[in-house]
Structure 1
Amino acid sequence: MSSPSQFNQALINWNGLHGLPRFDAVADGDFAAAFESALASHEREIDALASNKEEPTFDNTVVALEIAGDELSRVSALFWNRAGAHTNDVIQALEREISPKMSRHYSKIGMNADLFKRIDALWEKRESLGLTLEQTRVLERHWKGFVKSGAKLPKAEQEKLASINEKLAGLGTSFGQNVLADEKSWLLILSSEDELAGLPDFLRDAMAAAARERGEDGKYAVTLSRSIIEPFLTFSERRDLREQAFKAWVARGENAGATDNRGVIRETLALRGEVAKLLGYGNFAELKLDNTMAKTPQAVNDLLRAVWSRAVKRAQEEEADIAGLITAEGKNHDVMPWDWRHYAEKIRAQRFNFSEAELKPYLQLEKIIDACFDVAGRLFGIRAVEKKGIAAYHPDVRVFEIRDRDDKLVALFLGDYFARSSKRSGAWMSSFQSQHKLVLKNGHHGEMPIIYNVCNFAKPAEGKPALLSLDDARTLFHEFGHALHGMLSNVTYPSVAGTGVSRDFVELPSQLYEHWLTVPAILKEYAVHFETGEPMPQALLDKVLAARTFNSGFATVEFTSSALVDMAFHTRNKVDDPMAVQAEVLSEIGMPKSIVMRHATPHFQHIFSGGYSAGYYSYMWSEVLDADAFAAFEETGDAFDGEMARKLRDNIYSTGGSVDPEDAYKGFRGKLPSPDAMLVKKGLATFEELTGSDA
Structure 2
Amino acid sequence: MKVRNPAISRLKLSAAAPALAATLLAGCATTYGDDMDPIAAAEATADYSPEIPEGTGYFASDSTLPFLAPDFTKISEDDYVPAFEQGMAIQKAEVQAIIDNPAPPTFANTIVELEKSGRMLGRVSRVFFALTGSNTTDRLDEIQSEISPKLSAHSDSITLNPELFARVKAVYDNRAAMSMTREDAKLLEETYDSMVHAGALLTETQREQVKAINSELSTLTTEFSQTVREATVDNALIVDTAEELAGLSDSEIEAAAKLAAEKGHEGKYAIALQNTTRHPLNPALTNRDTREKLFKLSAYRADQGGENDTRLMLAKIAKLRADKAALFGEESWASYAMYDRMAKNPATAIGFMEQMVPALAATQRREAAEINAMIAAEGKNFSVQPWDWNVYAEKIKAERFAFDESLVKPYFQLEKVLEDGVFYMANKLYGLNFERRTDLPTYHPDVWTYTVFDRDGSELGLFYFDPFQRPSKRGGAWMSNFVDQSHLWGTKPVIYNVLNIPKAPEGEVQLVDFDNVETTFHEFGHALHGFFANQKYESLSGTATARDFVEYPSQVHEMWATYPEVLQNYAKHYETGETLPMEMVEKIQAAAKFNQGYDFGEVVEAALLDMKWHALTPAEAAAIDTPEKVDAFERKSLKELGLEIDLVPPRYRSSYFNHIFSSPAGYSAGYYSYLWTEMLDKDSRQWFLDNGGLTRANGDHYRKTVLSQGGTMDYFQMFQNFAGREPDVKPMLASRGLLEGEAQADSSKPDGALPPRTVGGE
Q: TM-score range by the shorter chain?
A: over 0.9
Q: Deviations over 1:511-545 (max 9, x none)?
A: 11111111111112211111111111233222112
Letter in 2 for 1:138: L
Query: Does the 8 Å contact 1:137/1:659 carry over to 2?
Result: yes
Letter in 2 for 1:628: D
Alignment-derived partner of residue 693 in structure 1: none
Residue 609 of structure 1: which of 659, 662, 667 is its match? 662
Q: CA deviation at 1:674?
A: 2.1
Choose 446-455 or 547-556, whichever is displaced more: 547-556
**SS of corresponding position for 1:412:** strand
Residue 689 of structure 2: which of 631, 634, 650 is its match? 634
**SS of corresponding position for 2:435:** strand
CA 1:459–1:688 in 2, change beyond 3 Å: closer, same or farther?
closer
Alignment-derived partner of residue 532 in structure 1: 576
1:567 aligns with 2:616: no
Q: Deviations over 1:324-362 (max 9, x none)?
A: 111122111121111112111111111121222111111
d(CA) in 2 for partners of 1:473, 1:101: 39
Alignment-derived partner of residue 660 in structure 1: 714
Alignment-derived partner of residue 463 in structure 2: 413
Residue 579 of structure 1: which of 623, 631, 656 is its match? 631
Choose 426-435 or 381-390, whichever is displaced more: 381-390
Choose 247-256 or 451-460, whichever is displaced more: 247-256
1:597 aligns with 2:650: yes
CA 1:26–1:378 in 2, change beyond 3 Å: closer, same or farther?
same
Residue 481 of structure 1: which of 494, 504, 525 is its match? 525
Residue 682 of structure 1: which of 715, 731, 736 is its match? 736
**SS of corresponding position for 2:281:** helix
Alignment-derived partner of residue 700 in structure 2: 646
Alignment-derived partner of residue 692 in structure 1: none
Trace 1:268-283 onto structure 2 (pairs within 5 A).
268-283=317-332
d(CA) in 1 for partners of 2:286, 2:485: 50
Q: CA deviation at 1:602?
A: 0.4
Residue 449 of structure 1: which of 461, 470, 493 is its match? 493
d(CA) in 2 for partners of 1:47, 1:329: 74
CA 1:22–1:226 in 2, change beyond 3 Å: closer, same or farther?
same
Query: Does the 8 Å contact 2:135/2:473 carry over to 1?
Result: yes
**SS of corresponding position for 1:330:** coil
Q: Deviations over 1:261-316 (max 9, x none)?
A: 11111111111011111122221111111111111111111111111221121111
Query: Does the 8 Å contact 1:496/1:658 carry over to 2?
Result: yes
Identity of aligned residues (%): 38
Query: Does the 8 Å contact 2:485/2:534 carry over to 1?
Result: yes
**SS of corresponding position for 1:447:** coil
Q: CA deviation at 1:12?
A: 4.3
Alignment-derived partner of residue 107 in structure 1: 156
Q: CA deviation at 1:414?
A: 0.6
Residue 65 of structure 1: which of 114, 120, 129 is its match? 114
**SS of corresponding position for 1:554:** helix
Query: Does the 8 Å contact 1:10/1:25 carry over to 2?
Result: no
Alignment-derived partner of residue 94 in structure 2: 45
**SS of corresponding position for 2:461:** strand
Alignment-derived partner of residue 190 in structure 2: 141
Query: Does the 8 Å contact 2:248/2:284 carry over to 1?
Result: yes
d(CA) in 1 for partners of 2:726, 2:455: 32
Trace 1:265-344 onto structure 2 (pairs within 5 A).
265-344=314-393
Q: CA deviation at 1:53?
A: 1.3
Q: CA deviation at 1:403?
A: 0.5
Q: CA deviation at 1:415?
A: 0.6
Q: Deviations over 1:559-591 (max 9, x none)?
A: 111111111111120223333222112112223
Q: CA deviation at 1:230?
A: 2.5
Query: Does the 8 Å contact 1:51/1:114 carry over to 2?
Result: no
Choose 536-545 or 309-318, whichever is displaced more: 536-545
Alignment-derived partner of residue 440 in structure 2: 390
**SS of corresponding position for 1:402:** strand
1:673 aligns with 2:727: yes
Q: Deviations over 1:579-613 (max 9, x none)?
A: 32221121122231111000100000111115100
d(CA) in 1 for partners of 2:59, 2:96: 26
**SS of corresponding position for 1:230:** coil
Letter in 2 for 1:146: M
Alignment-derived partner of residue 156 in structure 1: 205
Alignment-derived partner of residue 394 in structure 2: 345
Query: Does the 8 Å contact 2:417/2:570 carry over to 1?
Result: yes
Query: Does the 8 Å contact 1:211/1:217 carry over to 2?
Result: yes
Alignment-derived partner of residue 442 in structure 1: none
Trace 1:79-98 onto structure 2 (pairs within 5 A).
79-98=128-147
Q: CA deviation at 1:222?
A: 0.8
1:376 aligns with 2:429: no
Residue 285 of structure 2: which of 216, 236, 247 is its match? 236
TM-score (norm 1): 0.95
Trace 1:222-233 onto structure 2 (pairs within 5 A).
222-225=271-274, 230-233=279-282
CA 1:408–1:231 in 2, change beyond 3 Å: closer, same or farther?
same
Letter in 2 for 1:38: G
Unaligned runs of 5+ in 1: 440-445, 690-695
Alignment-derived partner of residue 597 in structure 2: 553
d(CA) in 2 for partners of 1:103, 1:57: 27
Compare the two structures and name the one with the higher helix fraction: 1
Q: CA deviation at 1:29?
A: 2.0
Alignment-derived partner of residue 357 in structure 1: 406
Letter in 1 for 2:476: G
Q: CA deviation at 1:92?
A: 0.5
Residue 503 of structure 1: which of 542, 547, 558 is its match? 547
Q: CA deviation at 1:10?
A: 5.1
Q: CA deviation at 1:196?
A: 2.4
Query: Does the 8 Å contact 2:242/2:269 carry over to 1?
Result: no
